Chain A
Amino acid sequence: MATRLQFENSCEVGVFSKLTNAYCLVAIGGSENFYSAFESELADVIPVVKTSISGTRIIGRLCAGNKNGLLVPHNTTDQELQHLRNSLPDQVVVQRIDEKLSALGNCIACNDHVALTHTDLDKETEEIITDVLGVEVFRQTIAGNILVGSYCAFSNRGGLVHPHTSVEDLDELSTLLQVPLVAGTINRGSEVIAAGMTVNDWTAFCGSDTTATELSVIESVFKLREAQPTAIVDEMRKSLIDSYV
C-alpha cells in the first residue's frame, strides 16, 4: 500500500527516512506526525527508529542499507552509531565507512540482492558493501546521471527510475537487477525518484504531491496491491523482464 505524507511541509519523504525490509529509520522532526505515519503502518512488523546522522536530518540520503546491514558515512558521531546499533535488530550489521563520497544514500541504491553504485566509488567501499549488505555490486549510471541512489528506487519486487531513461538502458538495468523496472516520476513530475519516496517489499511512502497516476504506477510496479508482510517469506526472483512502454 502506498501512503502519501509530508515531512514538515516538504514532499521529499525519501530524504528524511530510510525504509528496508528489516527496519525503518526516521528523521527527528518538529512534530510527531511523520513518525506516527510510519509507526501506524509498520509498528507491528519492523522497528521504526528515530535518528540523526552527523547531526543532520537528511538521513535518507546519507545512509544506505538493506535487511542485512546498514552503512553510514564517516562523519556519523559515535553516539548516533551506538544508538543505531542498539535500536536495530541484531542481524543488521551497522558499519561506518570511510568514503570520500559521504552521501551514501545518493551513491548507492540497493535491495536485498543487488546494488547499483556511483561510478567513482572506492574499491574498498565496494568490497565493504558486498560484505556487509550481502549484495552484488554494479557500477552504473541512470539516464546519464551518476547519482544512482537519487534517481532510482527499487525493492525486491520492482523499481522506478528517472523518466528520461532510454528503452535500452531500462532493459540493461532490468537484466542486472532482475526486477521489472519502469521510468516514471514522483511528486507531480519530479525526476528525483529516491528523494520523493521510500519503498520496501510490501509498502511505500510518497510525498503528498504525488498524483494519482504516479501512485498507480508505483503500486503496480512495486506490486503493492496484494502485498502482505507475510508474503515476503517466499521470495521469488522473477526472471521476467517487464516494462511499461
Chain B
Amino acid sequence: MASNMFVVPQTRGTVLCCKCGISMAPNPANMCVTCLRSEVDITEGLRKHVTIMHCPECDSYLQPPRTWIKAQLESKELLTFCVKRLETDLKKVRLVNAEFIWTEPHSKRLKVKLKVQKEVLNGAILEQSYVVEYVQQDHMCESCTRIQANPDQWVASVQLRQRVTHRRTFFYLEQLILKHDAAAHAIKIKQMDQGIDFFFANRSHAVKFVEFLGKVSPTKSRHDKQLVSHDPKNNSYNYKYTFSVEISPICREDLICLPPRVATSLGNLGPLVICTKVTNNIALLDPLTLRQCFLDTEQYWRHSFKSLLGSRQLVEYDVFNIEVVSPEYNVGGSKYVIADAEVARVSDYGKLFYIRTHLGHILKPGDRALGYDLYGANSNDIELDKYKGLVLPEAILIKKSYEEKRQKKRGKPRPWKLKSLDMEVDESRGRANEQKMDSEYEEFLRDLEENPELRFNLSLYRNKDYQPSEMVSVSDGDDLPSVPLEELLADLELSEQEDGEDSMRE
C-alpha cells in the first residue's frame, strides 16, 4: 500500500442544464439554479404578512398570550421577537439569516428579510430569501392601561414605623433599600411622621418587601385587608392589603437597662448594656465586662423593652487620664480595652468622674468622647426600679468625638455621596422639621464616615463635585476618619456621549 500513490487530479466537467441548456456544473437536480427556482418555490406556504401588537406607552410588543416584550426599533430583541412569531412556518425550512430592511419609523411596518434553505428534488438544497412584512397595531398593554386609568391606585401598602424621635434608622434603611433594589416595584413612597409608607400594585410585591425588611431589621408585622369590590357573578373579590411593620426602638449606641427576665435569660448580663449593632439581630455589649450577646428578633419581641438613653442624649466629655486595666479583647470583630478614665463634662469642668470605660484602645488624655451622663440624668425607667441595690456608674462613654476636627472641615464637600429614594414628603410639617432633618442627615453621614462596618452594606458613590484641597493637610497624628477612596463606586452615568464608567467593585 504505497502512500504516495499517483492520484489523477479530478476536474469536474460541465453538463448542460436539462431545461434551459446552459452550461453548468453538475448538481443533484442537474438543473441550473434559475430553472430550479422556477420549478420549486420553497417559500410557498410561508406567511409573508403578520400582524403584531405594539404598546405606544411603554414601547413593547405583545407575544401572545400575555407577555409584553420591550424592544427598540431595529434591535436584536425585536429581531428575535419577529422571528419567534414565525416559528410555525420556520419548522418546515431551515433559517440561515434574518435581517431588517429599513422602513419609516412611523409607517407602522416592519420588514424582515429571511434567508431559508430547503431540500428539493433529489437531494439538492436550495437557498432562497424572502421578505416578511409585519403590520404594527397599537394596543395598550395591561399595566399601562391600569396606570392610565388611575395613577394613584395601589393594591397593597406597607406602613413602616419606628417609635423613636430620630430618623437615623430610616436613612440607613433607605440606603439598604437602594442597594438591594427592594422598592423597585413600589408605585409610590411617602414619608410620614415616625416612618415611611410604601405602596405597591401587587400583593406579592408588598409581601416580598416586608420579608426583605424582616431580614435587615428586627421587625414585627401584621397584615389586614379591606374589601374594595366584589363580583358576585364569578365570585371574585378585590382587596386592598395593608401591612403594618414596626421596627424595634432599639438603635445603635443606645444605652439600655435590660428587664430582669431578659438579663437572666442572657446569662445575667449586667442590666446596663450598650447596643452595638442592629440588623435582624440586636447585639448588646456590657461595657464593664465586655460580654456581647445577640438577641433574635423573636426573642426581642417576646419581651420587648425600650432604651434608657438614646443618641440624642449623648454628652461631650473631656478625657484627662486613661489607665489601661485589661489587655485588648476582640469582641465580635471589634477590639476593646477596659480602662479607668478620669473625665469631666465639657459643659461642667467642675465635676470629675472616675469611670470604667471599654474604649481604652482609642482614648488618650486630651481626647474628647461622647457618652451618657447617668449622674445628671433623671431616669424614669420602670426596669431600673426593679433592680434593688443597683449602683449606676456615673457616666458611660460610647464613642470618641471628632467634633473639633470637624470644625476645620465644615463647609467642605465630601469626596463621596449617597443616592436617595424618590419620596413624597408630608407637607404638613413646618420649617423647623426640615432643619432637624438636615442636621440628622449630617450626623448620619458622619456616622458612615466613622464606621466601616456600617458602610459595608451600602453603596457609596464618588462625588464629581469634590476637588481635593490643594493645601497640604497638616497631619496631626489623629486624623479625621474618612471613607477611603477605594471603597467608593463610580456612579454610572448614561450621558449622550456614552462615556459612562461602569461601576467598579472594591
Residues of A within 8 A of B (CB): 163-170, 183-185, 188-191, 211-214, 216-217, 243-245
Contacts and interface: CB of A to CB of B under 8 A. Distances in A.
Contacts of B10: 166, 168-169
A213 B11 contact: no
Nearest to A162: B26
A165 B15 CA distance: 10
A165 B18 contact: no
A183 B21 contact: no
A88 to B, nearest CB: 35
B21 A216 contact: yes
A180 to B, nearest CB: 14
A245 B17 CA distance: 13
A165 B8 CA distance: 13
A166 B13 contact: yes
A183 B30 CA distance: 11
Main secondary structure of the interface of B (DSSP, over half): loop
Contacts of A168: 8-11
B19 interface: yes
B26 A164 contact: yes
A211 B11 contact: no
Interface centre among A185, A216, A243 (most CB of B within 10 A): A185
B26 A183 contact: yes
Nearest to A210: B18
> Considering the complex of A and B, which 10 residue pairs feature the smallest CB-CB distances, nearest first?
A189-B30, A213-B21, A163-B26, A166-B10, A163-B15, A185-B30, A189-B18, A167-B13, A167-B11, A211-B18
Interface string B31-49: 1000000000000000000
Given A166-B10, A213-B21, A189 B16 contact: no
Contacts of B8: 168
A163 B17 CA distance: 10
Contacts of B17: 213
A217 B9 contact: no
B39 to A, nearest CB: 10
A136 B193 CA distance: 114
A211 B32 CA distance: 14
Nearest to B36: A189
Contacts of B31: 189
B20 interface: yes
B86 to A, nearest CB: 32
A211 B19 contact: yes
A245 B24 CA distance: 10
Nearest to B122: A189
B12 interface: yes
B441 to A, nearest CB: 85
Contacts of B15: 163, 183-185
A184 B16 contact: yes
13 contacts: A163-B15, A163-B30, A167-B13, A184-B16, A185-B15, A185-B18, A188-B18, A189-B31, A190-B30, A213-B19, A216-B21, A217-B16, A243-B13
A214 B12 contact: no
Contacts of B18: 185, 188-189, 211, 213-214
Nearest to A164: B26
Contacts of B13: 165-167, 170, 183, 243, 245
Contacts of B11: 166-168
A170 B15 CA distance: 12
B14 interface: yes
A216 B21 CA distance: 9
B121 interface: yes
A192 to B, nearest CB: 11
A243 B16 CA distance: 12
A245 B8 CA distance: 19
Contacts of B121: 189
Contacts of A183: 13-15, 26
A168 B356 CA distance: 108
A243 B13 CA distance: 10
Interface in B126-147: none
B29 interface: yes
B29 A189 contact: yes
A40 B405 CA distance: 124
A167 B12 contact: yes
Contacts of B20: 213
A151 to B, nearest CB: 13
Contacts of A243: 13
Contacts of A214: 16, 18
A191 B8 CA distance: 24
Interface centre among B11, B14, B15 (most CB of A within 10 A): B15
A26 B234 CA distance: 82
Given A185-B18, A213-B17, A166 B30 contact: no
Nearest to B121: A189
A245 B16 CA distance: 9
Interface centre among A163, A167, A190 (most CB of B within 10 A): A163
